[in-house]
Amino acid sequence: MSASAAFAGEITIWCWDPNFNVAIMKEAGEIYSKTHPDTTFNVVDFAKLDVEQKLQTALASGTTNALPDIVLIEDYGAQKYLQSFPGSFAPMDDVVDYSKFAPYKVELMTLDGKVYGMPFDSGVTGLYYRSDYLEEAGFTADDMDGITWDRFIEIGKQVEEKTGHKMTSIDLNDGGMTRIMMQSAGEWYFDENGDLDVVDNKALKAALETQAKMANEGILYPATGWANYVNAFTSGNTASVITGVWITGTIKAQEAQSGKWRVAPIPSLDGVEGASHASNLGGSSWYVLSSSDVKDEAIDFLNEIYAKDVDFYQKILTERGAVGSLLAAREGPAYQEADPFFGGEEVWQQFSDWLNQIPPVDYGIFTNELDTAVTANLRSLVDGKPVDEVLKAIEQQAKYQIQ
């Protein structure tokens, strides 16, 4: 009774995507309210850009009464908010057992020894491929497991020769693939001190060279923009797609392709120390504002549902395709189910295993600016400019953008 009396109020939450984050948070609120009937939830649905603009404006102006109690922040932007607005977010490491989560998610919300935020969905990556195309070209599932990018390219050339289909598609105007490759080797655009790490960054160099090689070897289906990129694999034009687990629902929406898809770990970077077959693309986490009048209640809510409720994670996986970063959720029944769409593979279990293997990196506060510099110069590498000159051009542009 005393706990219920202490926790009695309305928790306001800002987030985006009504079919994913918003719906999941409403579900979490309903579960919590069963044991805390005096707690109500006001889940406000904004566009992602609106959430970021409203949060930035309120924090910069110090207008704390305009802030929510909980806000969703994309993982790439976490350090930017934590470092730019110190004291604005409530640390939760005295309440939350962060050892229960994927290490890379905890790392990105840690600053000066304190951990902020509640880890939520993962962007753990995978290699989705058309087993029918690969079999036609003479390859088995074993041939796709644990390969390097160079081997991926060689397979792609044979797939096109024997089936007429391009191996995959990359939008060279988007920095996503560069980020996937870099993080798979435990590197980012910045070093452990937050300083630019471009010219001598072996993982970044290999990531750029690999993408240029794929383009020049002719295994890429051209894509510009999200819709064009998605159409490349949903239409059957390509034999694979390498991206975050959140694409699963889009792939499965093509009912006529059921049974024809499989998943494998992403390729590793050739000749790069620390290269692995696990990485991340995207993902977000929940943060509590220090100015909240119901701060303790908001933290308790996040801790009870997102840090402890394994059944909740089974439900959002089944209904929303959300792969959470709570490691214990992997033991639940939803993660063990075979998926006929993927030939009976336990797809969610595979992704959850890879989740725990993602190398943690410090995303820093200027990821978006570095992405811009990379995509602006990647095409010149494809066209034959020496990679060391390209890296210098990226660094020069990045310094200009972040000064």
Residue 192, pLDDT score: 84
Region 70-95: mean pLDDT is 96
pLDDT in tens, 113-126: 999 999 999 999 99
Residue 193, pLDDT score: 85
pLDDT in tens, 339-351: 999 999 999 999 9
pLDDT at 18 over 70: yes
pLDDT at 1 over 60: no
Region 97-115: mean pLDDT is 96
d(CA 326, CA 228): 33
**What share of the chain in percent tops pLDDT 70?**
98
Of the candidates 177, 148, 218, 203, which has an alpha carbon nearest to the alpha carbon of residue 391? 203
How many Cβ atoms from other residues are within 10 Å of residue 139's Cβ? 18
Residue 8, pLDDT score: 67
pLDDT in tens, 393-403: 999 999 998 87
pLDDT at 181 over 60: yes
| Average pLDDT across the chain, whole number | 95
pLDDT in tens, 258-279: 999 999 999 999 999 999 999 9
- Bridge partners of 243, per DSSP, are 126
Residue 403, pLDDT score: 75
pLDDT at 3 over 60: no
pLDDT at 2 over 50: no
Q: How far is CA 205 from CA 52, 104, 125, 134, 366, in A?
A: 31, 22, 20, 29, 19
Region 312-321: mean pLDDT is 93
Region 119-148: mean pLDDT is 97
260-298 core/surface letters (b: 16 or more CB in 10 A; e: else): bbbbbbbbbbbebeebbbbbbbbbbbbbbbbbbebbebb
| Residue 5: band (very low, low, confident or very high) from pLDDT cuts 50, 70, 90 | very low
- Bridge partners of 241, per DSSP, are 128
